Chain A
Amino acid sequence: MSEKTFRLEVITPDRVTLADDDVVSVVAPGAEGYLGVLANHAPMMASLGIGKLNYRRVNGETGVMALGGGFLEVYDNTASILAECAEPAENIDIARAEESKKRAKQRLAAGGHDIDVPRAEAALKRAINRLKIAKQP
């Protein structure tokens, strides 16, 4: 018996990063811990944090993406992820990520009143996340 599939969409403000009808499972970085979605999941909405999105297609292919926060809606066998940024692991520019990690660190270290600490922290987290995912085999 073939596995049940559902549709996965990853949408960012600048484009539809992924739209795939033959997905069997998704693991997304929920704000309160990773959560898994299979076909025929109950309707759900969840906030997503910064982390790794894993999905597996019916033909066995898997995909990994770096997510930079957003949220997930599951309805009618469609999982839609609205993310502020989403990068497939193979597209991550390591040099750029290193660069932004360094920049965020400098900003945090410099301190002062005119910096937005939560924002710099989030930038740092996103950069570290991208690096972690890119470097995984």
Chain B
Amino acid sequence: MASTKDIRRRIRVVKNIEKITSAMKMVAAAKLRKAQERAEAVRPYADKMRAVMGNLSASVGEIDHPLLQVREVQNAAYVIIGADRGLAGSYNANVMHKAINDIEGRDAESVKLVLIGSKAISFFRRRRYEIAAEFDPPGSDVTFADIREVTRKTRAMFESGEVDAVYLVYARFVTAMRQDPTVVQLLPMSAPAEDPDSARADYIFEPKADVMLGTLLPRYVDTQLYQAFVESQASEHGARMTAMTAATKNAGEMIDNLTLQYNKARQAAITTEIMEIVSGAEALN
């Protein structure tokens, strides 16, 4: 049996770990709340955008726009949103595996990656795919302008014909406990679904509908990406919070076990000592 000194040391170590994990849990919970608010704040904009797009495309009919051009997919780009930090349970691993699953069906040479977050970057650097661009994940105060760089890069790749499709891989935020890694097609955009009651009105367009659609489409892509960013941030904090809650609980259990062990060891030591004294006294008689 380990000596009481060893056990005491281990208890101290585990207690320190517990302090750290519970602090991380608290921080993640606070950040999660903020991120969740942001994720909800984008929704009205994104929903309205979709509705307007639906209306517009219903009015324009056949649309011809570079971002809508459907080509046979030979080369594909993947935009993968990961985190900068680990210790978020399986958050990063889940996103990466989702991406790998999808990518593996293709020729390694035909895939180009746009990576966001150092975890995504270090994961794919070791693999044989071409990395077209790397970005830092924007901080918790991500703004619309921050993601421009990413959209510009991906749009340029698509419009120049370098790739024929762009997919976006990120963890969709469901609840704090649940994040679903998802793959969505970013480009070519599927022509926005026509709202069934969108033929509801004859809109006045200024400028003309097709011109407007041209200016709106890129912004629609921006919006989608922005939403993905904000959601994956909420997912990351959610995952970290869950992971740290579990870690704190495990540390607590471990401390209990070790304390029990420590007490046993201490008791055994006392018993042995008494035995020694008694048998020593006995021998004197």
- Set of chain B residues within 8 Å of A75, measured between Cβ atoms: 201, 203
- One digit per residue, 1 when the CB lies within 8 angstroms of any chain A CB and 0 when it does not, for chain B 170-208 equals 000000000000000000000000000000011111110
B45, B49, B144, B212: the one within 8 Å of A47 (CB): B212
Binds B, one of A6-14, A50-58, A87-95, A105-113: A6-14
Q: When the two chains form their complex, are residues B44 and A11 in contact, meaning their CB atoms are under 8 A apart?
A: yes
- A121 interface contact, C-beta 8 A: no
- A1 interface contact, C-beta 8 A: no
A42, A45, A84: the one within 8 Å of B144 (CB): A84
Q: When the two chains form their complex, are residues B48 and A43 in contact, meaning their CB atoms are under 8 A apart?
A: no
Size of B's binding interface in residues, CB under 8 A: 29
- B42 interface contact, C-beta 8 A: yes
Binds B, one of A27-35, A59-67, A129-137: A27-35
- Set of chain A residues within 8 Å of B206, measured between Cβ atoms: 30-32, 35, 44-47
Alpha-carbon distance A116/B48, docked complex (angstroms) = 29
Please, could you name 7 A-B residue pairs with CB atoms under 8 Å apart, sorted by A?
A14-B42, A43-B201, A43-B204, A45-B52, A45-B56, A45-B204, A46-B212
Q: Which residues of A pack against B, CB within 8 Å?
A: 11-16, 30-32, 35, 42-47, 71, 73, 75, 80, 82, 84-85, 116, 119
Q: Which residues of B pack against A, CB within 8 Å?
A: 38, 41-42, 44-45, 48-49, 52, 55-56, 143-144, 148, 152, 201-207, 209, 211-212, 215-216, 219, 223, 226
